[in-house]
Structure 1
Amino acid sequence: MRILVIGAGGAQGGAVARRLAAEGYEVRGLSRTGAAPDGVRPFAADLGDAARVREAFDGVTHVSVTLPLVFEAELVEAYVRNVLGAASAARVRRLVLNTGNRLPARATGVAAFDTRRKAAATALGSGVPSVVLSPPLYLENLAAPGVWGPLVERGVLRQPLPGDVPVSWLTHADLAAATLGALTGDGPVGAVLEVGGPPVTGAELAAAAGARYEELEVAAFEAGLAAALGPGAAAGVADTYRWIAAHGRDLYGGDGTAGRPGTRVTSPREWLAARLRTAR
């Protein structure tokens, strides 16, 4: 197996690339800047450059895809078209697409959801043997300075959702385990796997950390996120939180597994306890 990890320079794709390399696989990591974890062969490419994307697939048998935080419909469609065209030409044996968040069952008018819904449908209908991973929110989001600082210093957990909305969580390491299973397992292609643990409300999450919950205004969350991601990506992510607050009470589920038989995900309580022991 020779595995291409698209998005290897990011948090999600980087975790996948590290896990695959640690398992002894030959891994090529594609990112726009050429950044890749240690042990992964870097490959710089813009997903909008079809010829360069085809070069990245040279000799590749399997591919993991995490799309960048871009939500313009035409641009995302071009990215997906270039990736699937290259995968088809290379005759890859399996493609695993990470949608980056749970996807509502219907169109929402929220670009971050709708572009990924279309990407998943396109992959599954492309003829390329594909599996779609649909994760929930990531526990690493709680380590952001605007969240972690108030939690450790004042015992306040701040999130841009009402405290009674249930949300499922996953760690980047658990995403990597799910991707490994989807790439190397003998399960059927054409599946959509919802990975993540049982949902908990913000109030329950705060209680697990010995803290109180405080709803953060989405506009303030977006402003903080813009400093790290840029205004376009921050607006796209913030819109998902607005939708979840209004419509998302049934969006998240999960049975505590990460896509492989016998594999369980890290619970929010476990993750918070480990981080807080180090911080306090």
Structure 2
Amino acid sequence: MTYVIHGATGAQGAPVVAALLAAGNSVTALTRDPDAVVAGARVVAARYSSVAELTEAYRGADGVFVHLPVVSEADRLTYAHNIVAAVREARPARVVFSTSGAPVGAGAGGAAAVLAEGLGETGVPYAVIDPLTYLENLLMPYVLDAVRERGVLPYPVRADFPMSWVSHLDVADAVAALFGRPDVTGVVSVGQYPAIDGAELAGAFGAHFGKDVVFEPISPEEFRGFVAPLIGEGPAADVAGMYAAMSGLSDRSITPENSAQRLLGVTPRTTGQWLRDMGL
């Protein structure tokens, strides 16, 4: 089986490549760098901005894993339309799309919703993975340094706000499972269930690092200042806006009905398991 993986050298794509190679599959790693090296995979340079390059990369694939990069929303919309056009032309056997936490429900708007809707219109079998909040967000230096140096875990939500945290490793497990389960279609939510609140999250960090750790709510604007140097001012403002909107919600939790646990038999890692798997 041959699978085409977007962002194969990045945080989301690399774990998918590793999971598929470990299962003995053939992998085509899509990157922006034609000189990139991905051990065990064939590397193909294909830009989101080129329908022709995407079409050539997708043609004959048993599966394609795609997600949208962190760029301006205008560019993301262009890329979404290009991906749909390439899928429609190339007709891969299956597409798995990760929303990366962006909304895709009815009336959601935005590039992720456009891509999900467009894939449905191609007639190509597809599934949508819907992670909510990445544990990898907690790897940012300002979080880990605060844990290690001050015994606090800062994040822009209330301490009593339950969240279904998920890692890129969990998403990769779900992607690999979906490629082997063509009967599972539609939206598959991936994340911890039951959701955990800030105190439970901090407690897991404390148990792993062998120290007392408390959760420290910070404002979305303060969070924006931390992440802007990493992802850029525009995307950082979008992220801060998302967390500001979450302040009016009761939780950010998956529902068991469409979870990876029920549909695929894939149980996401606990926070402690993830910390161990990351070698922290």
Counterpart position of 1:232 = 234
Q: What RMSD, in angstroms, separates the aligned Cα atoms of the two structures?
A: 2.4
SS in structure 1 opposite 2:191?
coil
TM-aligned CA distance change 1:59 to 1:186, over 3 Å: closer
The equivalent of 2:209 in structure 1 is none
The residue aligned with 1:202 is: 198
Distance 2:245 2:10 in 1: 25
Q: Residue 246 of structure 1: SS of its match in structure 2? A: coil
- Distance in 2 (CA, whole Å) between partners of 1:213 and 1:131 is 35
- C-alpha distance in structure 1 between counterparts of 2:14 and 2:121, whole Å: 27
Which residue does 1:144 correspond to in 2?
A: 140
What runs of 5+ residues in structure 2 fail to find an aligned partner? Answer: 207-212
CA shift for structure 1 position 68:
0.6
What is the TM-score of this pair, normalised by structure 2? 0.86
Give the number of equivalent residue pairs: 270
Deviations 1:41-90 (A, max 9, x none): 222222111122222224322100011112424x3232122222222222
Deviations 1:134-158 (A, max 9, x none): 0121212212111011112221011
> What letter matches 2:145 in structure 1?
G
2:157 equivalent to 1:161:
yes
Does the 8 Å CA contact 1:61/1:91 hold for their aligned counterparts?
no
Counterpart in the other structure of 1:120: 116
Distance 1:65 1:154 in 2: 38
Q: Distance in 1 between matches of 2:22 and 2:263?
A: 18
Per the TM alignment, residue 196 of structure 1 is displaced from its structure 2 partner at its CA by: 1.0
Instruction: After superposition, give the CA deviation of every residue in 1:215-256 in whole Å (9 maximum; x if it has no partner).
Output: 122222212212111222222222221222223x34422447
Pair 1:59–1:275, CA change in 2 (3 A) = closer
Contact 1:2 1:62 survives alignment (8 Å): yes
Equivalent in the alignment of 1:20: 20
Distance 1:107 1:147, change over 3 A: farther
C-alpha change, 1:37 and 1:155, in structure 2 (3 Å) is farther
What is the CA-CA distance between 1:178 and the residue it aligns to?
Answer: 0.1
Q: Determine the C-alpha separation between the residues in 1 that align with 2:101 and 2:255.
A: 13
The equivalent residue for 1:95 is 95
Distance (Å, rounded) in 2 between the aligned partners of 1:265 and 1:49: 35
Q: In structure 1, which of residues 214, 224, 241 is the aligned counterpart of residue 216 of structure 2?
A: 214
Distance of 1:77 and 1:102 partners within structure 2 = 13
Q: Distance in 2 between matches of 1:233 and 1:15?
A: 23
CA distance in 2 between partners of 1:174 and 1:260 (Å): 14
TM-score normalised over the length of structure 1: 0.86
1:135 maps onto 2:131 in alignment: yes
Instruction: Check 1:44–1:238 CA distance in 2 against 1; reply closer, same or farther (3 A cut).
Output: farther
Contact 2:73 2:110 (8 Å CA) reproduced? no
1:106 to partner: Cα distance: 5.4
2:210 paired residue number: none
Confirm or deny: 8 A CA contact 2:191 2:268 kept in the other structure: yes
Q: What residue is the counterpart of 1:37 in the other structure?
A: 38
- 2: distance between equivalents of 1:128 and 1:58? 12
Cα pair distance change 1:140/1:265, threshold 3 Å? same
Matching residue of 2:253? 252
In structure 2, how many angstroms separate the alpha carbons of the residues matched to 1:70 and 1:25? 30
